[in-house]
Amino acid sequence: MVVDGHVGTGSGSGEPESSDSLRTFGAVVQALREFQGLSREEFGDLVGFSKHTVASVELGRRMPDVDFVEAAERALGNTGALRRGAEYLERQPGLAAWFRRWANLEKAAITLYTYECRMIPGLLQTEAYARQLFIDELPPLNDEQIEANWAARAERQKLLRERPNTAFSFIIEEHVLLRRTGGTQVTRAAIDHLLDVGELRNVEIQIMPLVRRAHAGLHGPMQLLETPKHKWFAYMEAPESGQLISDAKAISVLQMRYARMRSQALTPEDSASLLRQMRGDL
């Protein structure tokens, strides 16, 4: 099973080099732009991005976000080529192909909601906890793949502290911690980390109690985010696949479910008390 959108696809950390898919996508954008007789600056004005951003996309140095793809599609004839091509873009080692577009949206999100019933969410995992998940992968990962996975996850986790104006909300099932993934010491450190991150002003962590008569999250894990332009996206993951959702009606349903879960889970204060109790019981 792929855990939290990660697979072993390479090594290293930080911003990787351009890929063939990015260069190909950029070349198509450039060809369509030139066919329309537009300069990079003129095209940038049409799509709402700077000429420097346009150049970075065309040269394959930048992963285009959803807003860029949609605006470029409209400006360059609405052929559908850019939308379809964007689905195959690859860039960051350690991230599954279907997760990359979501990870790119995460970087600029102003609101991010996460409900998880299988494991501690990737943005909140300690290194020891994450490595245990990678070790448990089937088929087994090699050392290079594990290192790439952790590098990608650690890079994503910087969002919590580097984006203090982004509101992060997490709902985690109590049984995720009762499982003691990685053993007692790993679980103790994981709980300490949750308590530490939960002190950040932009982070809210709630625990869904083990016993709960009504539960709006029985459909499984979900993530929701809001872009700086106040557009909402959702992401749902299953083994070996993931679905990025932009349909407003579907997102509205997921928002209702998440809002209900927030009322059903323990408050952040009570959640912290439960975490401290659970740590003391280890």
pLDDT tens profile 127-175: 999 999 999 998 999 999 999 999 989 999 999 999 999 999 999 999 9
In what helix (H) or strand (E) does residue 245 lie, and over which residues does it extend?
strand 241-245
Say if residue 4's pLDDT is above 80.
no
pLDDT at 91: 54
Q: How far apart are CA 16 and CA 104, in angstroms?
A: 13
Which amino acid appears at position 66 of this protein?
V
3-state secondary structure of 222: strand
Does residue 258 contact residue 224 with C-beta atoms inside 8 Å? yes
pLDDT at 84: 86
User: 208-263, pLDDT tens digit by residue?
Assistant: 999 999 999 999 999 999 999 999 999 998 766 678 898 999 999 999 999 999 99
pLDDT at 21: 80
User: 31-58, pLDDT tens digit by residue?
Assistant: 999 999 999 999 999 999 999 999 989 9
pLDDT at 92: 53
Say if residue 275's pLDDT is above 50.
yes
User: 174-223, pLDDT tens digit by residue?
Assistant: 999 999 999 999 999 999 999 999 999 999 999 999 999 999 999 999 99
- Higher-pLDDT residue of 267, 16: 267
* CA-closest candidate to residue 85, choices 61, 55, 99, 64: 64
Q: What band does 13 get if pLDDT is binned at 50, 70 and 90?
A: very low
Q: List own/partner pairs for 28-33 with CB under 8 A and 24 or more apart.
A: 28/81, 28/82, 28/85, 29/54, 29/57, 29/58, 29/64, 29/72, 29/76, 29/82, 30/58, 32/72, 32/76, 32/77, 32/81, 32/82, 33/58, 33/76
Does residue 192 contact residue 224 with C-beta atoms inside 8 Å? no
pLDDT at 44: 94
pLDDT at 3: 56
Say if residue 72's pLDDT is above 90.
yes
Does residue 222 contact residue 169 with C-beta atoms inside 8 Å? no
Say if residue 6's pLDDT is above 70.
no
User: 80-121, pLDDT tens digit by residue?
Assistant: 999 888 877 765 555 565 577 788 899 999 999 999 999 999
pLDDT at 110: 97
Q: What band does 64 get if pLDDT is binned at 50, 70 and 90?
A: confident
pLDDT at 14: 35
Non-local CB neighbours of 177 within 8 Å, separated by 6+ positions: 120, 187, 190, 191, 275, 278
**Which residue bears the tokens 């709960």?**
212
pLDDT at 29: 94
Q: Round the average pLDDT of the chain to a whole number and report it.
A: 89
